[in-house]
């Protein structure tokens, strides 16, 4: 079968590898669509594991069942979670499923940028969902990233009618804007260095947009009746945005660190101000089964519509072009690879 083998962001090759065979409790899924995630192009994280087949935002059809699989049938349209928790460790039992060692070590094989993936039995057991009839393969691609956003807003103690500031309007930031809007945010403010992405943020629900090169804390107050934001979401790993977050959050507010900085990057925290103003700093990583279920329902019900976020569709042979588009962070939002083309 064909796969897009990743060597680095500028070197993704179309190659042939053997088509996997599902073992006991496993299934084989024909991948119809796979999104390129911002984390796929974090070269500092990915290149040390290269060569490998990336891709975790998948939707497709079950084409083969391994022995013992009776919960699904050939022909089912499915979303597949690449990471699944054990549900029994101390982290899972306390609600921190994304801190689970099992979640951090599970995956399907070889990766979504391939014609077929073999889904291990543990993922079949707790990470496969038949797509509701209302959802397309395109919608299925957004389930995993939207689940991450759902978890992030839950971690941040999001409240309707409050002001939300999103620092960084890449695909994650734009999904945060869409979800915050759907959940009743009072005012949404978005920043970015890209005018294209600022335009997208406005289109997807931001009430105000600010170029990140400007005096963001002052502009936020100007746009928010003289007050900082109740919730600040840092959806970029850029150090200036992390620093801006401390000056943009109101007393009693929350800063959600959604995106990771590069390894070794340290940012001073004005702890005295954070302490005095009772500001909460929280983080989020991945999505739990509950977050995935919530994301599916948001998409199924139409509360969050993602179709207008797709800017590029590429055949498997052009996956490398897709990586370049996402890495450049230019005029693209969601790039979807269609491995059967």
Domain boundaries, the chain: 2-144+287-338, 157-283
Distance (Å, rounded) from C-alpha 72 to C-alpha 85?
A: 20
As a whole-number percent, the residues of the chain with pLDDT over 90 amount to: 98
CB-based burial label for 256 (10 Å; 0-12, 13-18, 19+): buried
Strands 187-192 and 208-211: parallel
Interval 4-58: pLDDT, tens: 999 999 999 999 999 999 999 999 999 999 999 999 999 998 999 999 999 999 9
Is a pLDDT exceeding 90 seen at residue 130? yes
DSSP annotation of 308 reads: G
Is a pLDDT exceeding 90 seen at residue 169? yes
Closest CA to 25 of 76, 64, 75: 64
Is a pLDDT exceeding 90 seen at residue 191? yes
- The CATH class given to the 157-283 domain equals alpha beta
Query: 2-144+287-338 with 157-283: one CATH topology?
Result: no
Contact 73, 110 (CB under 8 A): no
Q: Name residues whose C-beta falls within 8 Å of residue 307's C-beta, 6 or more positions apart in sequence.
A: 138, 139
Interval 279-304: pLDDT, tens: 999 999 999 999 999 999 999 999 99
Residues 2-144+287-338, CATH architecture: Alpha-Beta Complex (3.90)
β-sheet bridge partners, residue 210: 191
Is a pLDDT exceeding 90 seen at residue 262? no
Contact 152, 176 (CB under 8 A): yes
Interval 219-243: pLDDT, tens: 999 999 999 999 999 999 999 999 9
């Amino acid at each position: 079968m064909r796969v897009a083998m990743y060597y680095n962001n500028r070197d993704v090759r179309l190659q042939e590898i053997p088509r996997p065979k599902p073992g006991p409790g496993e299934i084989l899924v024909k991948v119809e669509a796979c999104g390129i995630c911002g984390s796929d192009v974090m070269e500092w994280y990915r290149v040390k594991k290269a060569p490998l087949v990336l891709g975790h935002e998948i939707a497709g059809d079950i084409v083969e069942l391994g022995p013992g699989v009776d919960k699904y049938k050939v022909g089912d349209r499915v979303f597949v979670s690449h990471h699944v928790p054990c549900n029994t460790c101390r982290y899972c039992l306390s609600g921190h499923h994304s801190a689970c060692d099992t979640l951090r070590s599970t995956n399907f094989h070889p990766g979504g940028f391939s014609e077929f993936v073999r889904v291990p039995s543990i993922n079949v057991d707790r990470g496969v969902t038949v797509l509701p009839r209302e959802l397309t393969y395109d919608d299925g691609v957004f389930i995993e990233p939207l689940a991450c956003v759902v978890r992030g807003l839950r971690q941040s103690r999001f409240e309707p009618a409050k002001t939300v500031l999103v620092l960084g309007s890449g695909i994650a930031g734009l999904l945060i804007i869409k979800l915050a809007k759907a959940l009743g945010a009072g005012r949404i403010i978005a920043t970015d260095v890209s005018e294209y992405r600022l335009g997208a943020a406005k289109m997807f629900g931001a009430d105000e947009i600010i170029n990140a090169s400007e005096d963001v804390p002052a502009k936020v107050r100007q746009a928010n009746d003289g007050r900082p934001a109740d919730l600040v979401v840092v959806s970029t790993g850029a150090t200036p945005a992390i620093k801006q977050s401390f000056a943009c959050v109101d007393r009693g507010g929350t800063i959600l660190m959604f995106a990771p900085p590069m390894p070794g990057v340290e940012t001073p925290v004005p702890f005295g101000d954070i302490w005095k103003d009772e500001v909460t700093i929280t983080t989020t990583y991945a999505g739990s089964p509950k977050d995935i279920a919530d994301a599916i329902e948001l998409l199924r019900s139409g509360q969050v519509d993602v179709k207008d976020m797709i800017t590029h569709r590429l055949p498997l042979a052009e996956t490398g072009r897709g990586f370049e588009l996402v890495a450049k962070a230019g005029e693209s939002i969601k790039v979807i690879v269609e491995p059967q083309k």
